[in-house]
Amino acid sequence: MREFIEITKALSDSNRVRLLCALRNGELCVCQLIELLGLAPSTVSKHLTILKHARLIECRKEGRWVFYRIDEIASPDAKKALDLVFGCVSDSDEILRDDRKMVEILKIGREELCRKTELKE
Amino acid sequence: MREFIEITKALSDSNRVRLLCALRNGELCVCQLIELLGLAPSTVSKHLTILKHARLIECRKEGRWVFYRIDEIASPDAKKALDLVFGCVSDSDEILRDDRKMVEILKIGREELCRKTELKE
DNA sequence: ACTTCATTTCGTTAATTGGCGAAGTATAGA
DNA sequence: TCTATACTTCGCCAATTAACGAAATGAAGT
C-alpha cells in the first residue's frame, strides 16, 4: 500500500505527468525538461526526485548533464501506473502541445539550450 | 488531463484507497465505512465526496441511509484507474485486514452499528 | 409538529506541498 | 587550480489538504 500511495502521489501533479509523458519516447536531459515546463530548475529537479523516488524514472550522469528516462526495471505496480498515465493522457491537448514543443527543443543543441536559459529576459 | 489529475489526487490518500477497496465487493452504508476507517463521520464524508467527484463511486439514498458503490458507468479513465487500484493493493496486508474487519462489521446490523457509534467510550 | 438520527457542510487548525531564489556539489575546460 | 556550468539541496512563503467538532440538512417515527 505504501508503495502504491507513493506512486499515486507522484502522479497527482500535472507537471510530473507532463515529465513522464515527455520521457515516454526516450531519455532527456534535465535542461530540456526545464525548457519544456518553463519552471525554475530547482522546481523541476524536485519533481524529478519525487518521480524517481516512486521508481517511475531513473537517471544517468554523463559529464555535466543528467539524463532521465522511464525506469526500465520498474516494479509491477509502477509499470501498471505508467501504462495508466500513457493510456489516459497521451492524446490530451496538453501533452500533444508538449510533444510539439519538444520537437522544437530537440532542434536546439543541448549546449545552446543551456546558454539560452541564461539569456532569458 | 484535468480529469486524470482529479482521479490521481483522489487515489493519493490511503484512506480513500481503503474506501474503494471496501466497496469493490458491493455497496456499503456510510456508517459501515465510518466504522471501518475509525475516523470522524465528517472526515469520511469528505473523502467520499472527493471519490464521487472524481467519478470513481456513486451513491444512492435509502431513507436515512446513504449507500455508496463503485461507479458502474465510470469514465474509461476512471475504470482503468479502478483496475489499477484493485490490481495493486487488493492483497496488501492493510486491505486484507480491512476485509476481515468488514466481515465483522457486516455481522452487526446497521441499526445496532449506528447506536454503537454513540456508545463509544 | 417534534424529536431522533444518519449524513453533510462549515469553520478552524496543523501538516503537506509546489513554487522560487540562494547556496552547495560536481564535472569539464582553461 | 581556477572558472564556468548543470544540476541538486536548502530555506522560505503561499496555497492546499486531512483532520476534527459544531452546526445544518433531511428523512422517519412519535
Tell me: the pLDDT tens digits for B36-87?
A: 999 999 999 999 999 999 999 999 999 999 999 999 998 999 999 999 999 9
Distances (CA, A) of A119 to A11, A32, A36, A112, A114: 32, 15, 16, 11, 9
Tell me what pLDDT residue A113 has. 72
- A57-62 and B57-62 beta bridge pairing: unpaired
Tell me what pLDDT residue A109 has. 74
Reduced to 3 states (helix: H, G, I; strand: E, B; else coil), residue A34 is: helix
Q: Does A106 touch chain B (CB under 8 A)?
A: no
Mean pLDDT along residues A37-62 = 97
Q: Which amino acid is at B7?
A: I
Could you give all domains of chain A from N- to C-terminal order, each with its CATH number? 2-119 (1.10.10.10)
Strand C, nucleotides covered by protein (CB < 7 Å) = 5-11, 17-23, 26-28
Q: Which of residues 20-59 of A touch B (CB under 8 A)?
A: none
- Cβ of B118 near strand C (under 7 Å)? The reply is yes
- Cβ of A108 near strand D (under 7 Å)? The reply is no
Residue A115's pLDDT band (cuts 50, 70, 90): low
With an 8 Å Cβ cutoff, are B77 and A92 in contact? no
Mean pLDDT along residues A25-51 = 97
Residue B121's pLDDT band (cuts 50, 70, 90): very low
pLDDT above 60 (res B96) = yes
Tell me what pLDDT residue B116 has. 60
Q: Does A11 touch chain B (CB under 8 A)?
A: yes
CA distance A112 to B94: 51
Distance in Å from the first CA to the final CA of chain B: 46
Task: Tell me what the pLDDT averaged over chain B comes to.
Answer: 93
For residue B78, give the nearest of B60, B51, B102, B38 by alpha carbon: B51
With an 8 Å Cβ cutoff, are B8 and A8 in contact? yes
Residue A108's pLDDT band (cuts 50, 70, 90): confident
- Please list every residue in chain B whose beta carbon sits closer than 8 Å to the beta carbon of residue A89: 1, 4
- pLDDT tens for each residue of A1-22: 999 999 999 999 999 999 999 9
CA distance A100 to A102: 5
Task: Tell me what the pLDDT averaged over chain A comes to.
Answer: 93
- Cβ of A42 near strand D (under 7 Å)? The reply is yes
Mean pLDDT along residues B24-35 = 96
Percent of residues, chain A, with pLDDT higher than 70: 93
